[in-house]
Amino acid sequence: MQKNIVKKMASDVDNYVAFSEKRYQMICQIQNFLKEGCSYREIAKRMGIGRNTIAKYRKG
């Protein structure tokens, strides 16, 4: 005999809007650091992200 297991998700799991806002703020912060003349390495250390991420969000 096989049981069908159904997992239910809470309705507040969808946090896409919050994620999008957080990502937008990160992009703005990266662009501000670049305008100030900071290097990719320096920005990566300050923000705790990779240099490739900075290159990806350089133009928005």
pLDDT in tens, 4-17: 777 665 555 556 66
Q: Which domain holds residue 41?
A: 16-56
**10 located within any domain:** no
The domain total for the chain is 1
**6 located within any domain:** no
pLDDT in tens, 16-59: 666 788 899 999 999 999 999 999 999 999 999 999 999 999 88
**7 located within any domain:** no
**25 located within any domain:** yes
Q: Is the dihedral of CA 18, 34, 42, 39 positive or negative?
A: positive
pTM of the model as a whole = 0.66
Helix, strand, coil content of the chain in percent (nearest 5): 60, 0, 40
**8 located within any domain:** no
CA atoms of 31 and 54, how far apart (whole Å): 9
**20 located within any domain:** yes
